[in-house]
């Protein structure tokens, strides 16, 4: 294991070194939060794929393959479909807005007042996303070093908080690109073929397992429908995803780079399901499907390769964790605290945006680590976050992009009715039930349409400014660094 330890230590040290390098580039709010809005297609594609493919997509995706066979790919597959839809239909318009948060977009579209409540909902979602990613460190570090859960969370979480706080989005972009490469090598090029060969090939897998393991819809239509509602639609509106879209240097980069990343997600989904299916042949009676990944790595991979694949698992967790952390801090600072600061401080008072955002990443990072240590049922917590996100925010966000008759009153009603409906239905049917997000979305849509039609249309001047911003004809409301004029990063 000494070689495996060395691989992991070198990898973690490299993450911290990139955080230090990124600190030297983050000289403005734009550089710190969205990498100066100048990522080229290579960096954009790699980092977008890295953030959406986290621990749940890697360890959880293999676990679903172990439990359901090839149809276990659907969870990650719907994530890829959501990213493709975002990239093809919405990313160019989103990038042209030149904002920092989803709530700022709502304020622009509806003329203010819509962003406060959405900011709170988005903050809760990004916080829980970061928490669940951080908890995954416990599983990986337990395999590596046999240390207890709390220490594993503190160790892994501290590294992510450190490089994210130092360099913001620049550090996260650089580390995510490395993590994308490591995941590709570790999971797709090493673990996938080794697992299939160890299981005796596809012929032996078919002979050993029931036929439903090779049924594309074996996971069940109801489960698949819920995945689409939560993950495909969640990809369209999450702050962590939009913040990556904001880093693109052009419409073309956002559209085509995101399409490449989405296509990669589809391949990653199938790979995870195949690895899990192979693990079912090799270890038919594991205590938990989520143990399949770690068991394969420990028992079937040679020294050195094992360290690289475990580094790939760490990369998957860290990429999602860091992306969710900076999204959480950005929403907390820009959408919640900045509004309170505007009330209690003189409006003309100057603030160090980079220093303030760096402080919020550190603060939110400590909150994430503390919550991860205290929390037990992360699946339920993440489900609550996604249900609130989709049930409360999907309709006003997509409505604002697609329907000019939508009003601020309709948007607020959609958030309130959808959010309350989701909470009530989770209490009635259970947190993990399929009904809350489905009926919550219908309630949100009904409230949005009814209240929008019953209230005065949005001010034409607001809509005109909105159309100009969507078309890229209006400058961002706040000046950004002149460093954006330097050549785009590739």
Same domain for 321 and 410, yes or no, is no
Same domain for 124 and 218, yes or no, is yes
Provide the pLDDT for residue 205. Answer: 93
Same domain for 284 and 424, yes or no, is no
In a domain, 437, yes or no: yes
Same domain for 125 and 153, yes or no, is yes
Query: What confidence tier does 376 reach under pLDDT thresholds 50, 70, 90?
Result: low
In a domain, 191, yes or no: yes
Provide the pLDDT for residue 418. Answer: 92
Provide the pLDDT for residue 449. Answer: 96
CB < 8 Å & 24+ apart, contacts of 148-157: 149/373, 150/373, 153/369, 153/372, 153/373, 154/369, 154/373, 156/314, 156/317, 156/318, 156/321, 157/321, 157/365, 157/368, 157/369, 157/372
Residue tagged 């160890």 (tokens): 198
In a domain, 23, yes or no: yes
Same domain for 319 and 408, yes or no, is no
- What is the extent of the structural domain holding 366? 1-341+354-376
Provide the pLDDT for residue 452. Answer: 95
Provide the pLDDT for residue 378. Answer: 59
In a domain, 482, yes or no: no
In a domain, 481, yes or no: no
Instruction: Write out the H or E segment, with its range, that includes residue 119.
Output: helix 115-145
Same domain for 206 and 251, yes or no, is yes
Same domain for 324 and 389, yes or no, is no
Is the distance from CB of 254 to CB of 87 less than 8 angstroms? yes
Residue 451 token pair: 């209240």
Provide the pLDDT for residue 294. Answer: 83
The string over 144-158, giving b where at least 16 C-beta atoms fall within 10 Å of a residue's C-beta and e elsewhere, is beeeeeeebbbebbe
Same domain for 437 and 336, yes or no, is no
Same domain for 271 and 225, yes or no, is yes
Task: Kindly report the average pLDDT of the chain as a whole number.
Answer: 84
| Distance, CA of 38 to CA of 44 (rounded, Å) | 9
Q: What is the pLDDT of residues 267-309, one digit of tens each?
A: 999 999 999 999 999 999 888 887 888 888 888 888 878 888 8
Q: Look up the CATH number of the domain holding residue 152.
A: 1.20.1730.10
How many domains does the structure of the chain reveal?
Answer: 2
* pTM score: 0.85
Same domain for 74 and 110, yes or no, is yes
In a domain, 347, yes or no: no
Q: What is the pLDDT of residues 47-83, one digit of tens each?
A: 999 888 887 788 888 999 999 999 999 999 999 999 9
Same domain for 321 and 394, yes or no, is no
Q: Is the pLDDT higher at 4 or at 392? A: 392
In a domain, 480, yes or no: no
In a domain, 464, yes or no: yes
How far is CA 228 from its chain centroid? 15
Is the distance from CB of 311 to CB of 103 less than 8 angstroms? no
Same domain for 392 and 319, yes or no, is no
Provide the pLDDT for residue 482. Answer: 35
Q: What is the pLDDT of residues 455-478, one digit of tens each?
A: 999 999 999 989 888 887 765 444
């Amino acid at each position: 294991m000494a070689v495996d330890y060395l691989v992991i230590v070198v990898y973690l040290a490299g993450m911290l070194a990139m955080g230090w390098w990124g600190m030297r580039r983050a000289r403005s709010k734009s550089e710190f939060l969205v990498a100066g809005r100048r990522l080229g297609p290579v960096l954009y594609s790699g980092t977008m794929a890295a953030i959406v493919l986290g621990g749940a997509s890697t360890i959880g995706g293999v676990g679903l393959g172990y439990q359901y066979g090839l149809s276990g790919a659907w969870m990650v597959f719907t994530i890829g479909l959501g990213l493709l839809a975002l990239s093809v239909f919405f990313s160019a318009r989103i990038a042209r807005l030149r904002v920092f948060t989803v709530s700022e977009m709502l304020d622009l579209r509806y003329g203010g007042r819509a962003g406060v409540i959405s900011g709170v909902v988005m903050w809760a979602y990004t916080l829980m996303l970061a928490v669940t990613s951080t908890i995954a460190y416990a599983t990986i570090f337990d395999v590596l070093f046999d240390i207890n859960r709390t220490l594993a969370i503190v160790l892994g979480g501290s590294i992510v908080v450190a490089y994210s706080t130092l360099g913001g989005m620049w550090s996260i972009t650089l580390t995510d690109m490395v993590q994308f490469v490591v995941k590709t090598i570790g999971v797709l090029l090493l673990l996938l073929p080794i697992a299939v060969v160890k299981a005796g090939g596809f012929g032996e897998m078919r002979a050993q397992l029931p036929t439903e393991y090779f049924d594309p819809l074996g996971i069940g239509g109801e489960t698949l429908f819920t995945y689409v509602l939560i993950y495909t639609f969640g990809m369209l509106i999450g702050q962590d995803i939009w913040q990556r879209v904001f880093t693109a240097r052009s419409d073309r980069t956002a559209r085509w780079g995101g399409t490449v990343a989405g296509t990669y997600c589809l391949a990653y989904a199938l790979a995870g399901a195949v690895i899990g299916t192979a693990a079912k042949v090799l270890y038919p009676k594991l205590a938990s499907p989520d143990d399949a990944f770690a068991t394969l790595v420990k028992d079937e991979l040679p020294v050195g390769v094992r360290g690289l694949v475990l580094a790939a698992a760490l990369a998957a967790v860290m990429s999602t964790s860091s992306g969710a952390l900076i999204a959480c801090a950005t929403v907390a600072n820009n959408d919640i605290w900045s509004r309170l600061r505007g009330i209690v401080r003189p409006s003309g008072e100057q603030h160090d945006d980079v220093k303030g955002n760096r402080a919020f990443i550190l603060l939110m990072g400590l909150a994430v680590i503390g919550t991860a240590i205290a929390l037990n049922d992360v699946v339920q917590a993440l489900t609550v976050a996604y249900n609130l996100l989709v049930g409360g925010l999907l309709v006003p966000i997509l409505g604002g992009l697609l329907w000019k008759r939508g009003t601020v009153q309709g948007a607020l009603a959609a958030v309130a009715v959808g959010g309350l409906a989701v909470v009530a239905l989770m209490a009635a049917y259970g947190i993990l039930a399929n009904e809350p997000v489905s009926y919550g979305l219908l309630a949100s849509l009904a409230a949005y349409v009814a209240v929008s039609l019953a209230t005065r249309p949005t001010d034409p001047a607001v809509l005109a400014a909105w159309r100009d911003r969507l078309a890229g004809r209006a400058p961002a409301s706040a000046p950004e660094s002149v460093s954006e004029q330097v050549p785009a990063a590739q």
